[in-house]
Structure 1
Amino acid sequence: MIKSSQRSEELDDIIDRMPMNFGRWVALSVIIFTALFLLFGWIIKYPDMVTGQIKINALNPTIRLVANNTGNLLLLSQKAQEEVKKGEYIAVIQNSASIEDMQRIANLIDKINFDNIPLTTLRDTFPDEISLGEINPQYYAFLSALKAQCDYHRQNVYEKQKENISTGIEWKKKIIQEAENSQKAAKDRMEVAHKWLERYISLDQKEIATYEYETDQMKNNYLSTVQDVQNINREIALTRMQITEAYHQLGQLEIEQKEKERNLDVDLLSTYQNLKANITAWEQKYVFKAPLDGKVEFLKFIADGQFVQAGDAIFGIIPKENHVYGQVLLPTKGAGKVKPKSKVVVKLENYPYMEYGYIEGYVSSISLVTQTQKTAESTIETYLINVELPNGLKTNYEENLDFKYELGGTADIIVKDRRLIERLFDNLRYQTK
């Protein structure tokens, strides 16, 4: 008991003699550490991310040109990744048509505007001798229709006939006018003759020895004037009938002219459309033609004159200007945090991000329904998220990556930058609940 008391007294003595400066430094260190922890917990932000698989695609995919016929290949574009314009011939499968002639006619047909170009000018642009192989009949049918149209407008037969008839009508109207003037004079003479006849008839025939002779003379004069009036009336009626017939001929000519012009127009347009359709069919059968501006990519090793089989994909056209975007398959877990305009960090498998950096983008749209994706392990539900890449394939290391379709990688969608201390309290709140 005595020994135990002695130890307690010694322990108390040691405690009583503990240095106060050390205690103060320990307390101060704890306070400073706690303050720094709170400060850095407030300053440091750790992004809350949702991760999914991404594929880089373009709005206009590469277009593959497939051989639609079997034969030897005539290359017009000799180099891979050579720039071509829309409608330009890249290669042709050899056939009986002249490529130069076919391109010339195809360009002329595409530029035809029947409303703005005079037919004579249009006729002069199409050659009489040309080699178009299997579509020669369609070309010469169109050329014949075009010539017929030009000849019709040059000769202008119906207009000349209508002009002659109209001129005849004007002359007949003048004849009627003159006949009406003559008719008026004849009627005046008839009235005078009739007046003298009545006067002679009213005289006493016993007092005039030559009564009968003179009366007969007056009757003859009167009848002659009546006949003159009748003749003039008959001439006026006949002329008016001729004018009516002329107007009828004008109407008939107008109908015939419209029918003729309609037939010529139909013939020209039908042969034009037939030629255009046959040129398109010929191009589809024999020609590898650029559907848009871009670069030619050879899909296999080929040489001029090489034999190709129908159905073989020979060329690819990479669009010159294209809009690159990403498509993310995001699992449903945590997908509700993702909002439009959320920042996206893209790391591509072909370009390790530690060496090339990552690409920045943002969420442009989120699908409203899920899609089922089968994996080796299980089946998961995913949302399709479109990602805009404002800087294209330029990374944070200022590297411009080469575009290849279906580039794969991971997409970290930053849904919120959260402070470290908030995450700590989130865990405490979760534990307390």
Structure 2
Amino acid sequence: MPSRASFDEQQEIQQIIGAMPSRIWYRGILIVLAVIACLLVIAHFVRYPDVIEVPVILVAENPSVEMVSEVDAVLETILFTEGAKVKKNEIVAVFSSSVNPEDISYLELFLQGLESITEPAEMASAVFPAGLQLGHLQGESGHLEMLLKQFSDQYFSGFVGQQVAALKTDQSLVEKLNASLQQQLEKLEEEVGLAAKNYKDYQELFKEGAASEVEKDAAQTAWLGLQRLLESKRSEIIHNNLDYSQINNRIMMLQQADQTSWQENLRQIRKQCSVLSGQIEAWKNLYQLTAPMDGKLVFAERRSPGQYFTKGSAVFSIIPEGKAGQIIAIGKLSGAGTGKVEKDLKTFIRLTAFPYKEFGELIGKVGKIAEAPVVENGVTYNELTVELPDSLKTNFGRILNYRQNMPGLARVVTEDKSVLGRLFEVFYFKGKRI
């Protein structure tokens, strides 16, 4: 009967302890409910934001410009020291090449002089400078030198001028011959008039019987002979006029051909000047580094003549004069959740160079999201712009010094929900799935 004894023992124990008072149960339930209520209130007021993280770099409206080598070459000359102020388009550094920079400058001045020439005589007098060290530009410069010599030879040879002078001499002779013929023509016209009158008189005399028929015929023959001679002289004048016109046409054709020839040669010279100028500019772009704007010269590391640079290597930077302008952060927005990023959303930026636990975060807002996506290395992204305060003051009250292209991490706050709201969302979505 062990089970019976066990049951009796339990009853005895319950009698000794006694039943728990109901008020203790009531107070316990109230305490639990109060704790739950406090937790709910705390969960309502405690905010937990949704954050999208985007790597960014800081840039300015007037950023510094980095100048890189466009060719694999040795640095030959640096014309300014670090920290020097330079003007726009001033030559800062020159790389070594087969071309002498001083000869290039001299050739540029010569080409500018040729381009300003308008008269053929000036162009014919131009002489290409000798002894220039032009390296790979020698071919085009030699062609220009040949064109100048051809133009000069053509202009000063005088061959066309001699032909024109000879033809004008022929014209002068024709004019003199026509003048003589004209005088003869005037006299013949008088003689023809007299011969006609004489013939008419003999006709009257012959009718009256005062002159013989032989005399009448002789007078007629003399009159007709003078008429033939008169017509012959007139034909000579017409023929001479035709000769004069033909000579004049030949002169005009020679002069026009000569003008066309030297105009074509002049055009070829100007064209070659343009070709050579283009090659000079190409050489300068490769072997000379010029300041793109007014500013201060800065070297990323020590620079000296004799250093070898590969194409794309940074040589120096130019920091613009005055303030850098408004500072912004630029990043590549991609990945999950980025569709929630909108303009004017609050953004916190942690700069790599300034640990945020010590310096704090920069507070800005989303300024612009590029509408057109960009594909780079198989990744599609939209450019994100974050507007920042000019002073770069953090939420710790620290003011940071701006450096171009400082990297950092932008944390865009898309939603700022309470913990309670997020718990309700979890249960809501679970209920939807069921």
TM bucket (normalised to shorter chain) is: 0.5 to 0.7
1:365 aligns with 2:365: no
- Structure 1 distance, partners of 2:283, 2:409, is 46
1:65 aligns with 2:60: no
- Structure 1 distance, partners of 2:180, 2:224, is 22
SS in 1 for 2:230: helix
CA deviations over 1:275-327 (Å, ceiling 9, x no partner): 33553565467x342373366554553434x3647769461445748996512
Counterpart of 2:280?
Answer: 279
Amino acid at match of 1:315: V
Summarize the Cα distance change of 1:370–1:100 in structure 2 as closer, same or farther, 3 Å threshold: closer
Summarize the Cα distance change of 1:284–1:335 in structure 2 as closer, same or farther, 3 Å threshold: closer
Aligned-residue offset at 1:124: 10
CA deviations over 1:244-303 (Å, ceiling 9, x no partner): 331243124312320232023214422x24533553565467x34237336655455343
On the 8 A contact 1:348/1:410 being kept in 2, the answer is yes
Aligned-residue offset at 1:230: 1.9
Aligned-residue offset at 1:415: 3.0
Summarize the Cα distance change of 1:215–1:266 in structure 2 as closer, same or farther, 3 Å threshold: same
On the 8 A contact 2:349/2:363 being kept in 1, the answer is yes
Amino acid at match of 1:255: A
Amino acid at match of 2:359: E
SS in 2 for 1:49: strand
Summarize the Cα distance change of 1:223–1:87 in structure 2 as closer, same or farther, 3 Å threshold: farther
Counterpart of 2:82?
Answer: 79
Equivalent position to 2:384, from 359, 384, 387? 387
SS in 2 for 1:91: strand
Counterpart of 2:402?
Answer: 402
- Structure 1 distance, partners of 2:183, 2:380, is 100
SS in 2 for 1:204: helix
Amino acid at match of 1:350: A
1:301 aligns with 2:302: yes
On the 8 A contact 1:347/1:359 being kept in 2, the answer is no
Q: Aligned ranges for residues 146-295 of structure 1 at < 5 Å?
A: 190=192, 193-194=195-196, 196-197=198-199, 200-201=202-203, 203-204=205-206, 207-208=209-210, 212-213=214-215, 215-270=217-272, 272-273=273-274, 275-276=276-277, 279-280=280-281, 282-283=283-284, 287-290=287-290, 292-293=292-293
Amino acid at match of 1:301: R
On the 8 A contact 1:193/1:225 being kept in 2, the answer is no
On the 8 A contact 1:57/1:325 being kept in 2, the answer is yes
- Structure 2 distance, partners of 1:389, 1:73, is 42
On the 8 A contact 2:92/2:291 being kept in 1, the answer is no
- Unaligned ranges ≥5, structure 1: 1-10, 13-29, 374-381
Counterpart of 1:315?
Answer: 315
Q: Aligned ranges for residues 130-145 of structure 1 at < 5 Å?
A: 131-132=132-133, 134=135, 139=141, 142=144, 145=147
Amino acid at match of 1:327: G
SS in 1 for 2:69: strand
- Structure 2 distance, partners of 1:356, 1:153, is 80
On the 8 A contact 2:174/2:240 being kept in 1, the answer is no
CA deviations over 1:342-395 (Å, ceiling 9, x no partner): 55433221123452641524232156588788xxxxxxxx65231224458752
Counterpart of 2:330?
Answer: 326
- Structure 2 distance, partners of 1:100, 1:141, is 21
- Structure 2 distance, partners of 1:314, 1:251, is 62
TM-score by length of structure 1 reads 0.63
Counterpart of 1:415?
Answer: 414
Q: Aligned ranges for residues 111-126 of structure 1 at < 5 Å?
A: 114=115, 118=118
SS in 2 for 1:362: strand
1:349 aligns with 2:352: yes
- Structure 2 distance, partners of 1:160, 1:47, is 98
Paired residues in the alignment total: 389
- Structure 2 distance, partners of 1:259, 1:117, is 17
- Structure 1 distance, partners of 2:278, 2:374, is 44
On the 8 A contact 2:68/2:312 being kept in 1, the answer is no
Aligned-residue offset at 1:84: 5.6
Counterpart of 1:24?
Answer: none
Summarize the Cα distance change of 1:340–1:391 in structure 2 as closer, same or farther, 3 Å threshold: closer
CA deviations over 1:104-156 (Å, ceiling 9, x no partner): 434664x6783x66468899999846643545675576467457768978999
- Structure 2 distance, partners of 1:121, 1:420, is 90
- Structure 2 distance, partners of 1:279, 1:348, is 45
- Structure 1 distance, partners of 2:152, 2:387, is 57
Aligned-residue offset at 1:432: 5.8
Aligned-residue offset at 1:221: 4.0
- Percent identical: 13
- Structure 2 distance, partners of 1:328, 1:203, is 130
- Structure 2 distance, partners of 1:95, 1:372, is 39
On the 8 A contact 1:292/1:319 being kept in 2, the answer is no
Equivalent position to 1:93, from 93, 96, 111? 96
Counterpart of 1:21?
Answer: none
On the 8 A contact 1:345/1:412 being kept in 2, the answer is yes
C-alpha RMSD of the superposition: 5.7
Summarize the Cα distance change of 1:225–1:428 in structure 2 as closer, same or farther, 3 Å threshold: same
Aligned-residue offset at 1:90: 1.0
Aligned-residue offset at 1:243: 0.8
- Structure 2 distance, partners of 1:165, 1:340, is 86
